[in-house]
Structure formats: structure tokens, C-alpha cells
Amino acid sequence: MKISKSQYKNEIEKIKKYLEPYGSERNRLGMQRFGIRFEDAYGVNIPVLRKLAKNYKPNHELALELWETKFHELMLMAIFIDDYKQVTKSQMNKWVKDFASWDICDQCCSTLFEKTPYAFEKASEWSNSNEEFVKRAGFVMMAVIAVHHKNIEDIELFDFFPVIEKEAHDERNFVKKAVNWALRQMGKRSKLLFDEAVDVAERIAKQESKSAKWIAKDALREFKTKEDIYWKKRTKLG
């Protein structure tokens, strides 16, 4: 559905009116219990937003306008309808600064940003940030790249390991969980990456911080299951 710039404000009002009945205080409280932060939100479930987004995507200009409302569901709509082919580095740097909740961060990285040509660059750049959700975004990008970028060689992902190891000390909950996620997804991608991920996890386990020890323990527990799978495959091949 294509609309002119003069219609953006009217269209956003229509979207708001459509979403209002689907929201509830119960959902808003549920969002808060799951650590979702927001200033303005209806409490609308993701499936409702994705279904509505089908009527608009791709629409880059409308996505930009929706994002600027800073309204939780409208920011999610912006992510779902944006055209990744028109996303620029400038937009990515601007939007990542607006991340104030893990769901906005994760949806944006996994639905939109990872499809851009700048995914690798931003994963490395953001993972070194001091800002909580910018840093989280960097590691979320690593995780989704490991899962979704099937066309790249495994060796291209090795540069992520030193950053994962270096930043495992960060005690902030949303950061440490993203570091853990990145490490686990790297390890589950292939046998080559699995072996390196296990070595990295074992080195992380020797760090002094509680965060590092949790990241390592959780990853190694999952890798043990994966190791059994690889062992069975090697036995069959042998």
C-alpha cells in the first residue's frame, strides 16, 4: 500500500485507532513483567502488529514517520514495514540510539538491520559501545547473522569471538544475555565454529565476573547437548 507524504499523519492516526481496541492494561503489565520498557504503549500483541504491517510494507517513508512517534507499537510497526534496501547507516545509527527496550532492539536487529549490507560492520561497532542497548544490539546482530546468513563462510564469523570473550564481563542483564546468545548461536552453526565457541566459553569461565561465569556455564551446558549430536554424526560417518 503506497501513500503520499501528505497522508502520513492521517495514516498514523488510522493505525492508532485500529490498534487501540487490541491493547489492554493486562498486556501492558505483562510487558513490564517481561522487562519490556516503554513510555507509551497500548499493550498490543506482536501477531496483531505483523498482520497489520502486511497492508503497508514495504514503505520506508511511513516507517520513518512511525518511528518518530516513539510510541512502542508504532516503533514496532516501523520495523515491520520498513524496506531494508533503503535503510542507511545514518538511519541505523539514529534508531539504535532510540532503543530503550530489549524487544525493540531484538526485533529491529533480527527483522530489519541484519538484512542490510552493513550488518557485520554494525555488529562489530555497536558491541564495543558503552550504552546498554546499543551494546546489546551489537551482540544480537552477531547472533542473527550466525543464524540467517547462510551464504557466508564460517571463517568470516571468527572475528566475533574475541569481542564476545572481551565483553563477557559486562554485568548488565540485557547485555550479558545478548553476549550469551551470540556465543551459543555461533557454536550451533557448524562444527568448525562449535569447537572454537567451546574454547572461548572455557576461557570465559575463568574470568572473575559473575556475568562471565554465567555466560560460560549456560553456553557450555547447551554445547554439551550439541557435542553429543556431533559425536553421533562422526560415529555414523566413521
Whether residue 140 contacts residue 110, with contact meaning beta carbons closer than 8 Å, is answered with yes
Q: Cell numbers for 82, please give them.
A: 520498513
Residue 234 CA to residue 238 CA, distance in Å, equals 6
Q: Cell numbers for 213, please give them.
A: 561465569
Residue 105 CA to residue 23 CA, distance in Å, equals 21
**Could you tell me the domains of the chain?**
1-86 (no CATH), 106-238 (1.25.10.10)
Model confidence pLDDT, tens digit, residues 130-169? 999 999 999 999 999 999 999 999 999 999 999 999 999 9
Query: Is pLDDT at 57 greater than 70 in this prediction?
Result: yes
What is the pLDDT at residue 41?
80
Give the C-alpha distances (Å, rounded to integers) separating 77 from 8, 11, 68, 92, 133: 14, 12, 12, 16, 19
Model confidence pLDDT, tens digit, residues 58-99? 999 999 999 999 999 999 999 999 999 999 999 999 999 999
Per the prediction, the chain carries an average pLDDT of 90
Q: Report the percentage of the chain scoring pLDDT > 70.
A: 89
The highest-confidence range among 34-38, 42-46, 76-80, 222-226, by mean pLDDT, is: 76-80
Work out the angle between the directed axes of helices 46-53 and 8-19 (0-180°, nearest 10). Answer: 140
Residue 23 exposure: Cα atoms within 13 Å on the Cβ side: 18
More confident residue, 26 or 138: 138
